[in-house]
Amino acid sequence: MNDTIAAISTSLGVGAISIIRVSGNDSIKIVNKLFKGDNLENVDSHTIHYGFIMDNDIKIDEVLVSIMKSPKTFTAEDVVEINCHGSIASTKKILELLLSNGCRLAEPGEFTKRAFLNGRIDLLEAEAVMDIINSKTEKSLSLAVNQLSGGVSNLIIDLRNDIIKTLANIEVNIDYPEYEDIEQVTINMLKDNVINIRKKITEILDKSKDGQIIKNGIKTVIIGKPNVGKSSLLNKLLDEEKAIVTDIAGTTRDIVEGTITIDGIVLNIIDTAGIRKTDDVVESIGVKKSISLIEDADLILFILNNNEKINNEDLEILEKIKNKNSIVLINKMDLESKINIDKIENNNIIKISALNNEGIDDLKNKIKELFNLEKIDQKDYNYLCNARSISLLKNCLDLLNNIDEGINNNVPIDMIEIDLKEVWNILGEIIGVNYYDELIDQLFSQFCLGK
Angle at CA of residue 358, ends 355 and 359, nearest 5°: 130
- Residue 278, classed as helix, strand or coil, is coil
Full DSSP string of 32-60:
HHHEESS-GGGSPSSEEEEEEEEETTEEE
Is 274 a residue that touches ligand GTP (CB under 6 A)? yes
Provide the minimum distance between the beta carbon of 234 and Mg ion in the complex, in angstroms, as a whole number: 8
354 binds, among ligand GTP, Mg ion, none (CB under 5 to 8 A by kind): ligand GTP
Is residue 76 within 8 Å of 114, Cβ to Cβ?
yes
Provide the minimum distance between the beta carbon of 233 and ligand GTP in the complex, in angstroms, as a whole number: 7
How many positions of this chain bind ligand GTP (CB under 6 A)? Answer: 24
DSSP 8-class letter at 310: -
Provide the minimum distance between the beta carbon of 345 and ligand GTP in the complex, in angstroms, as a whole number: 22
Q: Cis bond leading into 226, ω under 30°? A: no
Longest Cα–Cα distance in the chain: 86
232 binds, among ligand GTP, Mg ion, none (CB under 5 to 8 A by kind): ligand GTP
How long a stretch of residues is the chain? 451
Angle at CA of residue 315, ends 311 and 320, nearest 5°: 150
Task: Count CB-CB contacts under 10 A for residue 144.
Answer: 25
Provide the minimum distance between the beta carbon of 272 and ligand GTP in the complex, in angstroms, as a whole number: 8
Q: Which is nearer to ligand GTP, 108 or 250 (CB)?
A: 250
Is 213 a residue that touches ligand GTP (CB under 6 A)? no
Angle at CA of residue 443, ends 437 and 448, nearest 5°: 130
Q: What residues between 195 and 234 interact with Mg ion by CB under 5 A?
A: 230-231
Ramachandran assignment for 332, one of left (phi > 0), alpha (psi -120 to 50 degrees), beta (any other): left
Is 227 a residue that touches ligand GTP (CB under 6 A)? yes
Q: Which of 19, 63, 67 is nearest to 47 (CA)?
A: 67
Q: What residues between 321 and 340 interact with ligand GTP by CB under 6 A?
A: 331-332, 334-335
Is 250 a residue that touches ligand GTP (CB under 6 A)? yes
User: In this chain, which stretch among 31-39, 75-83, 98-106, 352-360 interacts with ligand GTP, using CB under 6 A?
Assistant: 352-360
Mark residues 241-280: x for contact with Mg ion by CB under 5 A, - for none: ----------xx----------------------------
Is 389 a residue that touches ligand GTP (CB under 6 A)? no
Provide the minimum distance between the beta carbon of 274 and ligand GTP in the complex, in angstroms, as a whole number: 3
Separation CA 311–CA 294 (nearest Å): 20
Is 226 a residue that touches ligand GTP (CB under 6 A)? yes
Is 175 a residue that touches ligand GTP (CB under 6 A)? no
Separation CA 76–CA 278 (nearest Å): 62
Separation CA 335–CA 307 (nearest Å): 6
Is 290 a residue that touches Mg ion (CB under 5 A)? no
Is 150 a residue that touches ligand GTP (CB under 6 A)? no
Catalog residues that contact Mg ion under the rule CB under 5 A. 230-231, 251-252
Catalog residues that contact ligand GTP under the rule CB under 6 A. 224, 226-232, 245-247, 249-252, 273-274, 331-332, 334-335, 353-355
